[in-house]
Amino acid sequence: MVRWLLSIPVVAAAVLGLGVVAVVLGLGVANPAVGTAAQDEAAAAGHPMVGSWRETISEPGFSSFEVLTAYHADGTTVGGGTTAFATGPAEVALLGPGVGVWEATGPESAAYTVEFLITDAVGSDVRRETITGVRQFSADGQSFTGELRYEIREADGTAEVAGERTESGTRMTVVPFDAMVVPDPATPTP
C-alpha cells in the first residue's frame, strides 16, 4: 500500500512534466518565428535549393570528398558523408550528421550554415565544425557551384582550424526500378 501511495506523486510529476514538454514543443511548432529562418515555405518549395543533392567538396592540397544532403522548403537541411576519417597515423575521428539552415538569396542562389559534431574513436574530445556557404544554381536547377568557409572549434570554443573550399553538386533523381539490374545468384560471375 505504501509503495502505491508513494508512486502517485511520481506519476503525477511525470505526467505534469510531459504536459510542460508538450506545451513548450507546441509553442515552438505553432510560432513560425521560433526555430528555423523565417521563410515562406510555399515560395521556398519552388527554389532550386530544395531537394536532395550529391555534393563534391574540394580544397587545394587535399582530396575531394562527397556528401549527400537534403534541403527542405522550411529552411532546414540535414546531410552527411563519410563518418570516419584518419586524423593521424593511428588516429580516427568520427563525424556526425550535419544539421543546419538555409535561405534563398535570389531566384537561383542560396546561402546556408551547417554544423557537425566531431569526436575521437572513443567519443571524447568533442569538437564542432561550422560551415557557411553560398551557391549559384544552373538555369535548369539541376546543378550548382559554390564556395564555403569552415572552422573547427575545440569543446571550449578555441579555434582549431579554418579554411575555404569550393563545392559543386548535382541533384539526385529517382533511378528507375528496371534500370537496377541484380545478377541472378545462380549465374556465376566471371
Q: Are 133 and 112 in contact (CB under 8 A)?
A: yes
Which amino acid, residue 182? V
User: Per DSSP, which regions of 9-75 are E strands?
Assistant: 51-58, 65-71
Q: Which residues contact 39 (CB under 8 A, 6 or more apart)?
A: 73, 74, 75, 103, 104
Enclosing H/E stretch for 171: strand 159-171
As a whole number of angstroms, the distance between CA 107 and CA 43 comes to: 10
> pTM of this prediction?
0.70
Where in the chain are the domains?
1-35, 41-171
- Contact between 57 and 131 under an 8 Å Cβ cutoff? The reply is no
Which pLDDT tens digits describe the chain residue by residue (190 residues)?
Answer: 333 233 333 333 333 333 333 333 333 333 444 444 444 676 688 999 999 999 999 988 888 889 999 999 999 999 988 777 677 666 777 888 999 999 999 999 999 999 999 888 777 778 899 999 999 999 999 999 999 999 999 889 999 899 999 999 999 999 999 998 888 887 776 6
pLDDT for 40 equals: 66
Q: Residue 123 is placed in which grid cell?
A: 567519443
CB atoms within 10 A of CB 146: 20
Three-state SS for 101-134 is EEEEEECCEEEEEEEEEEEECCCCCCEEEEEEEE
- Describe the chain by its helix, strand, coil percentages, rounded to 5: 20, 45, 35
Per-residue CA distances from 37 to 4, 81, 98 (Å): 48, 24, 17
Cα 187 to its chain centre, rounded Å, is 41
Output the pLDDT for position 45: 83
Fold of 41-171: Lipocalin (2.40.128)
Joined together, the cell numbers standing for residue 118 give: 566531431
